[in-house]
Structure formats: structure tokens, C-alpha cells
Chain A
Amino acid sequence: MATGLPTTLRLCRRPRSCPRRAEEARPRAWLDLAEARHRRRLARQGRWPAVGGGWRWRPIDPSRAQRNCLRRRGAVVAILACAVLTLACRPAGAVEPGEVLADPALEARARHISQELRCLVCQNQSIDDSNAELARDLRLLVRERLAQGDSDAAVLAFIEARYGEFVLLRPRLAPHTLLLWLTPLLLLAGAVSALLRRSRRRLATAGGQAAPLSRAEQRRLEELLKRSAR
């Protein structure tokens, strides 16, 4: 269990491109309701009203960070349930210009790691592909850790410790995933050994010869030979 984030500073984002914002142009009754709920949620998280946009550093008290972390665990479940309903999974490329690291080698590593991590909001997308807020947070976290000199494995372990094994798109080789990783090998070995056994057995029983013709087959063969002789 994570004991809060390691730094007292955390990247926080103002709701600059809140997906529902575009809809404000033409309000509708049910949309207004959803919009209001959305704003309430953002306000609860201290992210509304927005003043300007973009990223800034904001101090976080550790107890709150821990609470956030705990809440996030619960939130993951809630998010999964309403993943279909959220508009956050707008399909489009994800990485934004402001996120890209200056060092191309580091950026390439960051991209590679991003492709190994699952977005918890948009199921079946890596955080590299998803442009949900959470995926963006994770992408920035990955880059932050890399910039601090973590190895790729350390970054993955860091994120796994906070979000659970579920975020890893490549499951670890562990007792509970042994069957998953070994199935292809076992199947292939099983098929090959079965084939070998079968061919050996059939060669042994038939002595390299096929079964003798049945009487009907014999008759048919003679008829055919007669016909072809004619």
C-alpha cells in the first residue's frame, strides 16, 4: 500500500480542456444537470473554478495526499464502472506538446514505458494512446520519475505500487500468471509430443504399411483397374 506521494509537490492540472466544456454553447436540460454534477465534482477536488489553465506546482499536505491515494484506489473501481459513460475517452492521439521531454532518448524511454501501462479510465488503451486526465497524470509522473534518474523498471514498479498490478499491460511472471505465460509453450510441446507419439505408434502397428483393403474397396479397385485398362 502506498503511503502517499513522495514529494509534497505534485503536478496538478486546471480543467483547461474539460470535455464537457464544448457543450456549454448549447445547453440542454439533461446536459445542464450533468454539467452541474461535473462542476460540483471538480469543485470538491479543488479544481473549479478555473483561473487560466495549464500546469502549475501546488503544495499538497501529506495527509491529504494519502487520502487521495486511498480514494483513488476506490475511485478506480468507480471509474471502471462509468468508463463507458464518461466522455474522457475521446479517441485521439494523446501526448501533448507540453509533455514532451527535451532529451529525445529520455522521451523515447518515456513513450516505451507509456505503452506498457494501461489507462484506468479508457479500458483497453495504454496511457500513451489515451487522453483521459488520469492517463495524462500518469504520463507526467513517468516523465518526472525518468527525469529524476529512475530506471525503466523502477518507474514501472513505482506506478505499480500506487495503482496496482492492473495497470501493467504486460503481466509480471508470478505464480498467478504462470499459466498465462506458459500456455503457449505447453500447448506447443503437447502438440508436438502427441504428433510424435502418434506417428511412432501408427508406424509400429502398421509396420509402415497401410491397412489392407476391405472387400468393397478391393472390388472397387478391380472395377477401376478394369475400366482404366479398357
Chain B
Amino acid sequence: MIVELGHFALVLALATALVQMLLPAWGVQARDRQLMAVAEPAALAQLSLVLFAFLALMHAYVTSDFSVETVWANSHTAKPLVYKIAGVWGNHEGSMLLWVLILALFGAAVALFGTNLPARLRANVLAVQAAIAVTFLLFIVLASNPFLRIPPQSEGRGLNPILQDPALAFHPPLLYAGYVGLSIAFSFAVAALIEGRTDAAWARWVRPWTLAAWICLTLGIAMGSWWAYYELGWGGWWFWDPVENASFMPWLAATALLHSALVMEKREALKVWTILLAILAFSLSLMGTFLVRSGVLTSVHAFAVDPRRGIFILTILVVLIGGALALYAWRAPRLQPGGLFAPISREGALVLNNVLLTTGCATVGVGTLYPLVLEALTGAKISVGPPYFNLTFGPLMLPLLAAMPFGPFLAWKRGDLAGVAQRLLAAALAALVALVIAYALVWRGPWLAPFGIALAVWIIAGAVCEWAARVQLLAAGADRVWRRARGLPRSAHGTTLAHLGIGLTLVGIVATSAWQSERVLAMRAGDSTEFSGYTLAFRGVAPAQGPNYQEQVALFAVTRSGSPVTELSPAKRLYDAPRQPTTEAAIHVAFLSDLYVVLGDELKDGSFVVRLYFNPLVRLIWIGAVVMALGGALSLSDRRLRVGAPRRARGAQAAHALSTE
């Protein structure tokens, strides 16, 4: 019964979204305030209906109702509760519903918190938001209904065991929050195009939403990478897999959008470009969702399993992306160009950021889609793998990273490069010292790696330098520094943290790619081996029983120069349903570096294959991502960006009026 109610609520949500799409847009045309005001209650109603549908589906999962097809196909009674809940979005149908739920959530947030938006803009934004919801709800109701009934089954087929993991349970919701959060930027861009005007205020409204989406994307991607690192069992953290690329492209576009919206907010330049970027960022999210969910990337055949779905997906992509781009082509030329700036200026630096980020994004996109297109056109099958991306994407990011410390130092409109270089002298010295130390400490590994470390230190020190200069860390007394730090807008602290995070991540990437050590050997109980300064004594393997799996757990006693360090227990699991083996790596963390032990197969002489990895500074990759997200959050809490800060908003308008020269 609850399932049918959920299904009904979903259809009602579709009807509500239709109302929310049509009436406010008509109201804007007819200048009817009452029609425009329909948008807010409709958005809230849509949220409650979709939420009800989602909870109904979750109820079916939690109670293991195997008369529902998706529950039967993806759940199992023996699964722990948290994975029953996570199972809701661990499959195509449920994840689409989660997608729409987050979309409705963002729409309702605009309705609730956007009270200071001009009525016309708000009505348009909510109408566009509803248009996206309509296409997705139609898709769910017609082609991927999660509430379909089947004759009741006694037991479900279970969730893929490698997905039964805490990090992966919350990775999709975070990633989707990022994807869907960009829909707000998209809706604002389309609304601006419909109205035919944008200004600094528009950018100020768009930025917090984009920032929120960017934070979620950053954390979501980092969580996925972290999961791959410890769960897939060979210590890799990024594979340039098409599915990863599908989430990385929106991140690159959103990062570019954050920076170009900054120019638009402060200087009213790059208007047309920012709008295009807002459209592109969400288009990439849409594409990412579908590429991942339709399975078109891993296998072209998965698309043909249900041709209706494939065609539906393509139609949605064409309607939303094509429609927005057509509107852009038609209306963008009418937008007034903004302020002028010299090439060497804050704006110039942000333009460089945008050029490199979007080129990088396009490179990743081409690398991901080229094999598909080539096969469709000529039938030739090629693979584009990590070597391609390392060769193309890497060099594109180098100038961006090298130029990063300069950006925040440069003045708006016209900057003084020599002056900035002088102020960055300390950072350059730090980088040089890092280079020398890296060469002195490690001889092995690629000769370029120390330069990578130096680049990362340059970024970190540059971010710190900029912050120090702002609070006059060296020139003033402690109380003065404290006062200046307090007085600094939080977004400035946020910038410093986010740039610092990039540097930390880069240290982790370079160190672990260049200096990872690895050993594969066969060990029998009682053997011990030396590895990266540790001594690992293999005590043996014992069977154990988990809630829905059996496992073989190995025990390693780890010592370092005679004193015990830790005990590590890597395991091999065999899940009950579906019957599928997984490897559980055991990781010992020693100052941001990981000793990573994997238990392999048993050999016929009774010994076990054991894989040992030492990943230096690998933790910094994710710590850096978290620091980036923290920076974003800090910037989001800036009162200037907080929704409803009227006094400052008026000040900014005055500044804008003055700055138009």
C-alpha cells in the first residue's frame, strides 16, 4: 500500500512540477504577481511529494518488500540496515529518485531563502528548476519506475558487496548534491537569458549556490577516490575511469564558474562567459549522471537493454542542454559587456584560470567520449586510458598551478606583476628549499618528482604569504594581526584555505605516484619480511563470520626496529548474496603515509600471496580535498554571500555604479 502511495505521490509531484513550470513563467510574461507567486508553494509541495515517494521506497527497502522489483533486484534480508537504506540509491531507479529529491530540495531552498530576489527573477528561476524536474519525473514515471511490482519473491538478490561500504553509502548523495546544486546556477543563467539582463547582484546570488554545489562535489569525489583506494585493494586512488571523469568534468567547470562569477560580481566583466559556464557546468552534470547511470560508457550494449530509456535520456539531454544553448545563442549578444581590464590584473588571472580549467575539462571530455564517437562513426575501437590523460591534462594544469599564488595578490583592473613577484619571494624560497630537501632525501624515483613537490610547496607558501600580507603578520603586533584577521572577510580566509588544499593534494599526488614502494610475495604462517623500514611477521590466516559474509582474516605483527608498531588484519571476504569475493586491505597510518597490506590467494603449497605497498604522504590527497571544502564552507558563511544581507548589497550596487567609470 505504501509503495502505491509513493508511486501516486510521484505522479502528483510531476503534476505539481508542471504547474510550477507553466504558471510562474506565464505570470512573468503577463506581469501577473499572483501567478508568479504560485512558484513558491508549488516548489514546497513538489519537495514534500518527492520526499514522500522517496521515503516510501526507503520503507520498501527497510522492510525488504520483495514484491517491488528494484528492492528484489538490489536488496537482501541479511544486509545490515545502513546498507538497506543505502541500497535505495545503489541502483539506477532509486538513484534517479534521489536525484529528483535533491533537485526538489534545492528548488524549495530557493523558494524559502530567495525572498530577497526580484520577483520576476525568482519566478523564472523556479520555473526553469521545475522544467528540469518535469523531464526527470517524466523519465522516472515512464521509463524507470522504482515502484514496479512483481510477484512476491522470498529473497532478494542483494547489493554488490564492494558497494557495501560506509564511504560508498554516502558518496552518491554527496555527489548528486553537487551535480544537482549546479542546476541552480543553470536556472539562474537561463532566467537571466530570458530576462535579457544580468548584473553584479545576479552573480552574487548565483555564487553561494555554486559554492555549495562545489563543496559537495569536492567532498563527493574525494570520498569516491578514498573508497577506491581502500576497497579496491591495490592502493590506486584515481584511475581516469570514465565514471570518475564524468564527475570530474562538472567539478572543473564548477571551479571555473566560481572564479568567473567572482569577476562578474566584483567587476561586471565576463558576463556572457559566466552564463555560458553556468549552462555548461550543469550540462556536464546531466551528462555525467546519464553516462554513469545508463552504462553507455563501460559498455555500449547496456544502452540497448532498454531502448526506451536510452532514447528518453538522449531526448532530455537534447531538450535541456540544446534548449539552454539555443537560448544562449539567441539572447547572449544582447547582454551588455562589462568593465575593461589589463591582461595583468586580477581579472586577467581569473581569465587564465578559466581558460586552463575549461580546456582541461574539454580534454577530459574528449578523452572520455572520443572512443565512443569514433566507434560509432568508423567502427574503430580504441582505448583512451590514464597515459593519455596524464600526458594531456597534466601539462594543462601546470601553468594554472604555477600561476595560482599570483592571482589573489594582483590588483583588480591593472596589476603589478613585478611587485607581486617580490611579495612572493618567500614562497619561491620555500619552494626552492623543498626542491633541495626532496632531492637530498630521496634519490630513487623520477627526477621530475621533486619539482612537483616544489610546485606544491610554492602553492601552499603562496597562499600563506597572501594571507600573511593581508593580516600584516610580520609588520604588526599580535593584537593588531588578530584584529585584522577578524576583520578580513571570511571569503578571503576561504580562498587561502582552498588554495592551500590544492597544494596539499598535489603533495600527496606527487609523493605517492613517484615514491610508492610495492612488493608482492608468497608468505606462509611464521614467515616475516622487511619492507620500507617495517618488519612484518605473518602469523597466519583464520576464518571468521560476518553478518552477511564469511571471511579469511590474516594477522600480521608489524614492528619497526624491534619495537612493535601495530597488528594488521587484511581479509578476503565472500559475500552470501550475491556470492562475490572482496579483498579488505589493512592500512597502518604513519605520519600521513600508509603501510597498505593486501591478502591474496592461497597457493597450493599452503602459502599466501601477500601484497605490500608503502604510499608516502598519500593521506594528503584527501586531507587537501577536505581543506578545500572547508575553505568553500568558510567562504559560504561570509555575511556578504549569506542570503539576505541588504545593507552590503546596496553598498555593492553603489560600488558597481561607481566602477562603471
Q: A residues near B, CB below 8 A?
A: 16-17, 19, 22-23, 31, 52-54, 80-81, 83-84, 87, 90-98, 100, 115-116, 118, 123-126, 129, 164-171, 176-177, 179-181, 183-184, 187-188, 191-192, 195, 199, 202-203, 206, 209-210, 213, 217, 220-221, 224
Contacts and interface: CB of A to CB of B under 8 A. Distances in A.
Contacts of B598: 92-93
Contacts of A170: 385, 387-388, 391
Contacts of B241: 124
Contacts of B231: 91
A87 B580 contact: yes
Contacts of A81: 299, 301
Q: Nearest 8 CB-CB pairs, A to B?
A: A169-B385, A170-B387, A93-B234, A91-B232, A210-B661, A93-B611, A92-B583, A184-B363
Interface of B: 162, 231-236, 239, 241-242, 298-299, 301, 337, 339-340, 343, 351, 355-356, 358-360, 362-363, 366-367, 370, 374, 378, 380-388, 391-393, 396, 520-522, 574, 579-583, 598, 600-601, 604, 609, 611, 613, 654, 657-658, 660-661
A96 B600 contact: yes
Contact of A93 (B233, B337, B367): B233
Contacts of A100: 520
Contacts of A171: 382-384, 388
Q: Looking at chain B's contact residues, is the secondary structure mostly helix, strand, loop, or mixed?
A: mixed
Given A91-B582, A100-B520, A224-B657, A187 B363 contact: yes
Contacts of A83: 298-299
Contacts of B611: 92-93
B382 A165 contact: yes
A124 B298 contact: yes
A84 B658 CA distance: 62
A37 B580 CA distance: 18
A84 to B, nearest CB: 7
B581 A80 contact: no
B340 A166 contact: no
Nearest to B381: A166
Given A93-B611, A191-B359, A176 B604 contact: no
B609 A166 contact: no
A80 B381 CA distance: 12
Query: Which of B235, B384, B582 is the most central at the interface, judged by chain A CB atoms within 10 Å of its CB?
Result: B384
Given A129-B236, A169-B387, A220-B657, 10 more contacts: A97-B609, A124-B239, A124-B298, A168-B382, A169-B386, A187-B358, A192-B355, A202-B337, A221-B658, A224-B657
A206 B234 CA distance: 59
A100 B519 CA distance: 10
A108 B367 CA distance: 27
Query: Which of A16, A118, A169, A220 is the most central at the interface, judged by chain B CB atoms within 10 Å of its CB?
Result: A169
Given A123-B298, A124-B239, A170-B385, A91 B162 contact: yes
B385 A97 contact: no
Contacts of B604: 16, 52-54
B595 to A, nearest CB: 15
Contact of B351 (A124, A168, A195, A224): A195
B374 A176 contact: yes
B340 A210 contact: yes
Nearest to A171: B382
Query: Which of A188, A199, A213 is the most central at the interface, judged by chain B CB atoms within 10 Å of its CB?
Result: A188
Contacts of A180: 366-367, 370, 384, 388
B232 A97 contact: no
Contacts of A220: 657
Contacts of A176: 374, 378, 380, 382
Given A179-B370, A224-B658, A84 B299 contact: yes
Query: Which of A116, A210, A213 is the most central at the interface, judged by chain B CB atoms within 10 Å of its CB?
Result: A210
B385 A91 contact: no
B234 A94 contact: yes
Contacts of A54: 604
A169 B317 CA distance: 29
A150 to B, nearest CB: 19
A183 B387 contact: no
Nearest to A189: B359
B333 to A, nearest CB: 14
A126 B239 CA distance: 10
Nearest to A216: B657
Contacts of B386: 115, 126, 169
Contacts of B601: 17, 96
A102 B388 CA distance: 30
Nearest to A96: B609
A88 to B, nearest CB: 11
Contact of A91 (B233, B242, B381, B393): B233
Contact of B520 (A96, A187, A191): A96
Given A93-B611, A115-B387, A179-B370, A187 B600 contact: no
Nearest to B655: A224
Contacts of A177: 370, 374, 382
A210 B583 contact: no
16 contacts: A23-B579, A53-B604, A87-B581, A90-B580, A92-B598, A118-B383, A165-B382, A168-B383, A169-B385, A170-B391, A171-B382, A177-B382, A183-B362, A183-B363, A187-B358, A210-B661
A16 B235 CA distance: 25
A22 B576 CA distance: 12
